[in-house]
Every structure is written in C-alpha cells, then in structure tokens.
Amino acid sequence: MKVASYTLALLLMTFLSSAANYSVFQENGKAGLKDDQGKIVIPAQYDALGWSNGNFSVVDNVTGYKLAGRWGLINTGNHRITKNEYDELTPAESQLFIAKKSSSYSPRVVAGCITIAGKEAMPFEYDGIKIFSLRAIVFTKIGNQYKYGVTDLANHTIIPQQYQNIYPIGGLRFAVQNFENKFALFSETGKQVTGFIIDKISPFTRNYAIIYQGMEQGVIDRDGQIKIPPAHQSIAMLDDGSLKIRLPHTWEFLDGRNKLIQKHQADSIEPVDKNLIKVKKGELVVLADQQLKPVSSNTFSSIGKFINNKAIVMQNRKYGMINRTGTIIIHPLYDTLIQGKSYILASQRQNGKNAWQLLDSLGTQLTTKPYEYLKPFGDTYLVANNRGFAGAINNKGKEVIACVYDSVLQIDDGLIVVKFRKQYGIINMKEEWIVSPRPNKLTILTENKFLEESPQRKSLKSTAGNVIYFTDNPIKVSQDYILEYLPSGTIWKIDLEGRIADRQVHPEEAIERIYEESEELRAILKNGKYGFIDSQGRLRIANRYEGVQKFSEGLAPAKIRGHWGYINHQDQIAIQPAYDEVTDFKNGVAFVRLKQLWGTIDKTGKVLLPVRYQRIALLPTKNFLITINDQEGLADASGKILILPRYPKLEDVGNGFAIVARDGKYGVINLQGISTIPLIYDYIQYDPFNEFFIAQKRSLWTDFKN
C-alpha cells in the first residue's frame, strides 16, 4: 500500500534539503558532523549519527545520536535534546520521531512518538507505530496475535485495535483487514464505508481503487460506491484516471499431434504436479485440477513448488503453507517460511527484529520461545541465536544447548565445537567441557578424537588430552585419515591412531604442482611440463606435455605443439592433437573446438558432429542442441541431425516432440522436423506431469467505456 505521493515527496524533499547541508565524518572510530563549509558542528564523540535504520538526515537542525548502544536526539549545535534512552529512533511525518525503548513494567520493547523538542507525543505503549499524514497506525500483540488500529497524533482512537492489519491507500482512506482475511474501506475519521466483502484493494488513483472479489476485479470510489462491478478478469488504472480492461488469455491444452483436449481462460497457467495446475487471474492465484476446476476456495498472491506434497504460499505479503488439496495448513502470518525435510522454519518481525520459530509439518509450533536466528545443522539439530548468543535446538524444538556461546561451529558424535568468549572448546550434550576453551581452531573427528590447528602446528588429540600426532606441514582432513604434505612432495596418509598408513612417495625431482586424482592417476607439473604419477608417486606418464587434463573413460586430454588431443594410460596418443580446446569424455562423447567452432568426437577420434557449430549443449534427453548463426537445431548422440538449425529457440521436451519459436510465435514439431502444432501461439509450455502441451493466445488491453 502507498502513502499519498504528495506527502511522501514533501517529506523526502524536507529530509534531503536539510541533510544536504551536513555530512557525517569519522575520527578515531567516532562519528561527528560537519556543515557544508567543512566546519565541525558536532565533534566526533558519538558511536553514530543519523538513525537506527542506518539512514542519515537532519530534520529542522535535529538528528539522532548513538551512545553506549542507545539513541537520542541532538541538534546541530551539539546540544543533546534527549538522553540516549531509545533502542530505536527514526524520523516520521509531522516533525515526529518514532522511538522504541524497554518497558518499565515488562521485558517488552515498546514504541511511542516524540516531538522535535524531545517531548512525548504518543505514549510508549505499542509494539509498533506507522505515521501517515495526521494519523498513526498502531499495533499491539494481544495473546498470540498482533491487533491493529488507527489513532490521531494525540493518541485518540480513530479505529479501535481489533483488526489483523490496516493499510493506508491514499485518498484519506484505510484498507482494514479482519481476521477472516476480508477487507473493508474506512475513512480518515474512522467511519466504515463498506462491509468486509473485499478480498483485496489497490491504492486510490484519482479517487478510484481496484477491488478484488474472488478472482474477479472491479472499481470502487472513495465513498465506497461500486463504479465497475467485480466481474472482470483484469483492470488497469492509469495515472490520468482512465481505465483499461483486458480479457484473460486463452489457453489450449493439446497433445503433440494438435488434438485439442480442453480450452480455458486465465492470465497464466503453470503445471506444478500430477493433476495440479496453478491458475492466475489478475493478481490472484488458485490451485486447480487438470480440468482447471479449483481444488479449494482459497486464493493467494503466489504458490510455490510442491515439496513433500506441500507448497509455500503468499497472501497479503505474508507466507503460509497449503497441501495438495489447497487446504491451508499454516496460515499466511509469517514474513519468511522455509520448508525443511521434517520441519518448517518460520519468522515474524517483532520489535524491528526477526523472531524465528520451529514448526512441525502441520504448522504446530515446536519451540517455546522465538529466536533471532535458526539455521539447520544436519538433519537433527539447528543452531539457534537468542539475545546475540548461540546455542542449539533439536528438530523437535527442544533447546539442547543453551544460547550462551559466541557461536556453535560443529555438532558431531554427541560433541559440539563452540566458540566461547573468543576461544574454541568442545562440550557434550550435557554442556560439560570436554575440551576446555583455547585460542586454536578445533574440529571433531570421532567421539574421542579431535584436531587442533594453530597457525604453525596441527595436532591430532584425544579428548582425554593426549597428543596422538602433530605436524607443521600442510594437511587435508578426511573422515578416517589425514593427508600430510611434506616439503619434498611426499604425501603421508596418517590414520587416526597417528600411524603412517601409506607413504605416497613422489619422484626425487622437484614437483611444482600435483592435481586431483582421476582413474588412479594424478597430473603433475614438473620442469614446466605435464605428466602423470600413480598413487605411490611413481611416474607413469612422462612429463613431456604442454598441458593435460584429468582422465575420463580411459583417455586424458594432452596438449602438444599448441594443439589438444588425447592420450591413454599407456602414454600412447589415442587421438591426434588437432584442436584448440577439448573436453573430457562423457558417455563416449567429447566436445572439441577449432577456430571458435565446436563439434563432437567419439573415443576413437571419429567425428560425430563436424566442427561447424557456434554452440553445442548436451540435453537431459541425451540429444544435442546445436546452434549455427543463432539458429537452433537438434542432433542425437551419434551425430545424426534430427532437426536442422533454423529456429531462434528450440526445446526438446523428451517425448518425440520439440517446442520451437520463430518471429515471436510458438509451435511444436516432431523429431523428423515436421510441424504438428502450427507456429500461431504466443507461448507454449509442456506439462511433464500430465503429458500435454499448454498453448497461449494473448488478449490485448482495450480502453474501458462505461
């Protein structure tokens, strides 16, 4: 919902013209203020200047200052108008400032308003305040729900606090939402001018607003009179007050041979699952079956992807969750909703901060209190943050590690690596110290062994305090062993008992670089040339190549005299070096490039697709998308051309047909290149769940004539 544009513009101009004369500067980590002549008007002695939301402005020679973690008002003469007693402080309209501070009667942080002189204009008794013109939208948490109302700036009630939400929509009108998710129109005096019969309402433009009832749209004036009944699919209101209407697009459901299955009208249609389709009309989305019959009466702003038969939905800018029948299982109350395997993370903004909760798959709250932060840690635990400190909860919502640590870094084998007062330690699930805090990084390896790493030394230790193995050399830690890289190039494999289980000795000559192992061989760089060694460090392919890549399907790319070919494990040239660039082999095929053009070859070097294509891409269907002069075609894995490159866009859908586009129109052809659905549609998509094509014919906007 929007503030009246004139009021917003005036407010913005006031802030900008006032702030433009001043600039914040830093000195010794403190903030101060200079005027436009560079003169210091506020010395650098504050933690910050401006506002708690990170913005800076000066309102009638007044701005905010932060000291000792709290905010107050200060003028440009360095006179503190108020004490630094506020948790949050931001400017609002009518030379008022919205402030938040701790309540004297409870642990709540409460919001109120102060004047430019620092006097209390609205009492500190709300959870939040939003000021628009001469009215304030206020809300307070009552029970487990926030309830909204409207007051004037003297805190006289205009609309009582008993509604789910309230939005200013211009024209001195408010859209008021009840707890049945229906809207009514209220005047600036608090008079209800319509019943709660509106599903959604837009901001007013030239005294008119678009309303929604179900998936139909209409127009209402500021007196609540219906000017256009809600019986239209799409209405657009222009800035000059004129209206345009559009019929919904026509969608034809077709099989690959152009047989019409059914026809529907909607703004958009998107298949989401077997016998489930998202249908959008105007700004509302409904879940429908294959015949486009709604599976429930619920409508949403958006419906996400179905995971485990559930999808996240948005309604009135809040997120919830539905099942495959369209039934709401989590009401849209949350600012963020994240679906996990066996639980759901939900967040609501409270007192300017995120409040996270853990819900089960049916939306039941598992946690007993909100957290500032929740992050999954494996399948069983979540790292939790409360009041700036870290702990952990399990996937049932129980706090198993109290939020008293700087951070929780690892949970494994019943042990937890934590950072406590800037040092690392290990605790068990009873929060007993197994390894006392120390400055070095710790990593749990088993239930009784861990790795301690300082900048110089790495030590394998037991939780009993014994040093099992230590080294100053670089290491790489795996699940059951440690690889130690000696300066000579030798790699030792150390088991978790501290024994050298394997010595991968490299040739005596210095090796400049060793690459990742593939097919039991590692590429090396020695004396500026490339070769391969085995797992024991023995030279298997002499370092005589200008470049190599890893082995795949028995062959490795090798560069000789500036060109790439392939060698086998016996150091024999399997494919002559004739290309500028090559790839590894997948399913017996590799891509090769020569003079900016691409082709494909098999493992014998036989050319499958000649080197003549601008681009080649392997598709999930195992066919190749080929491009010449930005025209796309299709070839199979053997190099046989299925569809000549003559379409700007081609999509192989994998059922013997391909969607093609030319000159902005879409159609379907078979893999013999024969047109089966003509190029007459504005868009075509394939529904893989229900195995048919959905073709769109767009409708155009026309002027509305009453």
pLDDT on residue 526: 87
Answer whether residue 504 shows pLDDT above 90. Answer: no
Answer whether residue 96 shows pLDDT above 90. Answer: yes
Mean pLDDT of the 435-448 span: 94
Answer whether residue 688 shows pLDDT above 70. Answer: yes
Answer whether residue 387 shows pLDDT above 80. Answer: yes
Spatial distance between the Cα atoms of 667 and 655, rounded to a whole number of angstroms? 15
Name the β-bridge partners of 412.
Answer: 415
pLDDT on residue 487: 79
Can you say whether residue 99 is alpha, beta or left, with left for phi > 0 and alpha for psi between -120 and 50 degrees? beta
Answer whether residue 20 shows pLDDT above 80. Answer: no
Answer whether residue 294 shows pLDDT above 70. Answer: yes
The residue assigned the tokens 């195995």 is 691
Strands 183-187 and 173-177: antiparallel
Residue 460 near residue 494, CB atoms below 8 Å = yes
pLDDT on residue 352: 66
Residue 79 near residue 64, CB atoms below 8 Å = no
The DSSP string of 297-365 is S--BSEE---BTTEEEEEETTEEEEEETT--EEEEEEESEEEE-SS-EEEEEEETTEEEEEEE-TT--B
Q: What percent of the chain has pLDDT over 90?
A: 69
CA–CA distances in Å: residue 691 to residues 194, 207, 622, 657: 46, 48, 19, 11
**Phi first, then psi: what are they for 463, rounded to 5°?**
-65, -15
pLDDT on residue 133: 85
pLDDT on residue 207: 87
Mean pLDDT of the 349-355 span: 76
Answer whether residue 377 shows pLDDT above 50. Answer: yes
Q: Nearest Cα to 266, choosing from 286, 249, 245?
A: 249
Q: Kind and range of the H or E element at 19? A: helix 5-19
Spatial distance between the Cα atoms of 693 and 684, rounded to a whole number of angstroms? 7
- pLDDT class of 258 with cuts at 50, 70, 90: very high
Answer whether residue 257 shows pLDDT above 90. Answer: yes
Average pLDDT, the chain: 90
Q: Which tens digits make up the pLDDT trace of 663-683?
A: 999 999 999 999 999 999 999
- Where is pLDDT greater, at 144 or 431? 431
Which pTM was predicted?
Answer: 0.67
Mean pLDDT of the 516-543 span: 88
Q: Which residues contact 344 (CB under 8 A, 6 or more apart)?
A: 321, 330, 337, 338, 358, 359, 360, 361, 363
- pLDDT class of 16 with cuts at 50, 70, 90: very low
What Rg, from alpha-carbon coordinates, does the chain have?
34
Answer whether residue 19 shows pLDDT above 60. Answer: no
Task: Provide the token pair at 602.
Answer: 């098999």
pLDDT on residue 3: 38
Name the DSSP class of 15: H
Q: Which residues contact 586 (CB under 8 A, 6 or more apart)?
A: 552, 553, 618
Mean pLDDT of the 106-129 span: 91
pLDDT on residue 351: 61
Torsion, Cα of 54, 57, 61, 63 (10° steps): -10
Q: Which tens digits make up the pLDDT trace of 192-214?
A: 999 999 988 999 988 899 998 87
- Where is pLDDT greater, at 224 or 1? 224
Strands 120-126 and 109-115: antiparallel
pLDDT on residue 183: 95
How far, in whole angstroms, is CA 344 from its chain's centroid? Answer: 16
Sign of CA dihedral 286, 292, 295, 296: positive
Mean pLDDT of the 91-102 span: 91
Least confident stretch, 57-71, 306-320, 617-631 = 306-320
Q: Which tens digits make up the pLDDT trace of 335-351?
A: 999 988 888 999 988 76
Answer whether residue 253 shows pLDDT above 60. Answer: yes
Name the DSSP class of 203: P
One-letter amino acid of 51: W
Sign of CA dihedral 286, 290, 293, 296: negative
pLDDT on residue 534: 85
* Domain ranges within the chain, ordered by starting residue: 5-234, 273-504, 510-589
- pLDDT class of 706 with cuts at 50, 70, 90: low
- Where is pLDDT greater, at 504 or 139? 139
Residue 308 near residue 301, CB atoms below 8 Å = no
Mean pLDDT of the 324-334 span: 91
pLDDT on residue 6: 38
Mean pLDDT of the 606-627 span: 96
For the chain, the straight-line distance linking the first and the last C-alpha, in angstroms and rounded, comes to 27
Answer whether residue 21 shows pLDDT above 80. Answer: yes
Task: Provide the token pair at 624.
Answer: 């190749």
- pLDDT class of 486 with cuts at 50, 70, 90: confident
The residue assigned the tokens 């809600």 is 230
Task: Provide the token pair at 457.
Answer: 């030394």
Answer whether residue 9 shows pLDDT above 60. Answer: no
Q: What percent of the chain has pLDDT over 70?
A: 95
- pLDDT class of 120 with cuts at 50, 70, 90: very high
Mean pLDDT of the 7-19 span: 43
Spatial distance between the Cα atoms of 110 and 148, rounded to a whole number of angstroms? 15
Can you say whether residue 524 is alpha, beta or left, with left for phi > 0 and alpha for psi between -120 and 50 degrees? beta
Residue 420 near residue 409, CB atoms below 8 Å = no
Task: Provide the token pair at 378.
Answer: 């494996």
Task: Provide the token pair at 362.
Answer: 């049916």
Strands 88-91 and 96-102: antiparallel
